[in-house]
Structure 1
Amino acid sequence: MKISYECGPCFLRQAKEAMDLSTDDEMLKMEIMEEIFKFLNDNFKLGANSNSTGSKMHNMIKQKTCCRDPYYREKIEGNEIALKYLPDVKKILEEDDSLENYVKIAIIGNILDFGAFTLDDDIEGVIKESLEKDLVIKDIEEFEESLKTNDKVLYLVDNTGEIVFDKLLLSKIKEYDLDITIAVKSEPILNDACMKEALEAGLDKYGEIVEIGAGTVGYVDSEISEEFREIFNNHKFIISKGMGNYEGLTEINLDDKELFFLLCAKCNTISKDIGVNLHDMLLFKK
């Protein structure tokens, strides 16, 4: 997806957040912010790729602060809080174990920023409220047809915390007797899931976990490894979680794929691009 004017403030907000998590050195943060302004001045323009621009900015911060994983603590907390609420979510699904409900749960995981919640917050209430909402785009019949007619699927995960809820959908997919390959980032970026977090959440119980060969915001086709490109090319059926992967995958021609996006439209740029309202929950085939 291409940059919109609204991406500018978002880049700066993310830059401040990443720097504050990386270092307490105020002078260093000032120097880095000056470089970010220069970088955006050269690269923030009509037609630029949002994922690639954001990835370069975050990697600049990591390099300058010598902090490989600014969101390390947030990722641990996200998984821990999500795991605490997993039994409650399972009880909800026992009452209605439809495929649509499992899809909704996975999308609700995308809505919740688990790192921002405490154990006192009413996460269960948010989950139940979200389950009562309809998917605004609901290609559930096409999705189930792909589950029935393919023998393998590539599942691109998004954030920590969220991946705990992905486990439930992965368990449902297993009922269709598919071989599942789960793709994670190779290097830390934001609070995206890497191999360590995926293993800690227990995703390896549902399929083989592979790395994409890069640490990018979402999927950036030019940055993935040749090993992952072979895996990607060998899968006809692909499930993409979250906005970052949507931004990247819509930049390339994938007409030969059965590609399904599961996400919540959490920003105006993406909601306008898809043609939905802010905060709508979506399951749709590209």
Structure 2
Amino acid sequence: MQHHFLNFPYCFNSACSCRNMKAQPECFPCFLRQALQAAKFSSLSEDIQKRILQEVMEKLLKEDWNKTPPELAHIAHAVVRKYARGDPYAKVKKESNDLALSMYPELKKIVEKSDNPLRTAVRIAIAGNIIDFGALDSFDVKKTLDDVLRRKFRYDDFEKFKKDLERGKRILYFADNAGEIVFDKLLIETIREMKDYQITLVVKEGPIINDATLEDAKYTGIDKIVDEIRFIGNGEVGIERNSPEVGQWIKEHDVIISKGQGNCEGLSEFRGIFYLLMIKCPVIARYLNGNVGDIILLYR
């Protein structure tokens, strides 16, 4: 399938000299929104909230704005960590995991009864991408699931996805958010029914927003169905997604699966990746020449 993208400061066009996504003007209010959201989740006073926003703005003004959105978002959350005790998102992450786990038995039945279990599991995994406090303040998981099971894909590289799975052996799976990884668990289980794979799951080494960590992997049981778990950073500990180490991981695996907007942004300089996501912001919509709400299964 041929895809046509806009001539953007970052793009999927292999002929373009700009290989990685750069933060756009619309990203900066979002960084501030995330910092304020994290401060409120930490029950910090209004004075501290204002101080956090001021420090975030001061630090961003000194930064290279040609970095990827996740790299700059890390700066905002590093400021919050100076004032907050523990993980600001711990409560909502547990709630997201519990909600998804409560839905899991019914979702499993939907996949098992489907005429095309793999395609249905892909749709369900993409629906889970709505659980994203980095891009949204609120969401309705069950309503989104019903919609995504019927909706047409903006980009649909499913046939290549299936063929590459049939040919490949080693899978590298970049998870996105807590709660969402229960939907990922269902997709991985469905993939495993095709043949024996060596599957490596990638989660965050430390907490940031509601991104999935090792704790979430263990809580949801996804750790039991993969062969290895690796870690990328949260701006405080760990390596960045666009690091040479991650590039080496990609070379070592046959099928690379990237979930969500953050991974799409952070992995954008690499090639040979299947992106599974729901578009939730205008910057990503412009990047992918789509619309907010579109569902994506894109090989690039």
TM-score normalised by the shorter chain: which range applies?
A: 0.7 to 0.9
Equivalent positions of 1:67-216 (< 5 A) are: 67-98=85-116, 99-113=118-132, 116=138, 123-176=141-194, 177-216=196-235
**Partner residue of 1:57?**
76
Q: Using the alignment, how far apart are the partners of 1:87 and 1:140 within structure 2?
A: 25
Change over 3 Å in CA distance of 1:178–1:270 after alignment to 2: same
TM-score w.r.t. the length of structure 2 is 0.83
State the AA in 2 paired with 1:26.
E
| Corresponding residue SS for 2:297 | strand
Deviations 1:48-96 (A, max 9, x none): 321111112112211x214341111111110001111112222322331
Query: Which of the numbers 28, 31, 56 marks the counterpart of 2:48?
Result: 28
1:243 corresponds to 2:261: yes
| Unaligned ranges ≥5, structure 2 | 1-20
1:38 corresponds to 2:38: no
State the AA in 2 paired with 1:264.
M
State the AA in 2 paired with 1:15.
A
State the aligned residue count: 273
Q: Using the alignment, how far apart are the partners of 1:116 and 1:87 within structure 2?
A: 24
**Partner residue of 1:274?**
288
State the AA in 2 paired with 1:20.
K
| Unaligned ranges ≥5, structure 1 | none
Query: Which of the numbers 29, 38, 42 marks the counterpart of 1:18?
Result: 38
Change over 3 Å in CA distance of 1:165–1:88 after alignment to 2: same
TM-score w.r.t. the length of structure 1 is 0.87
Aligned-pair identity in percent equals 37
Q: Cα RMSD between the aligned structures?
A: 2.4
> Deviation at 1:232?
4.0
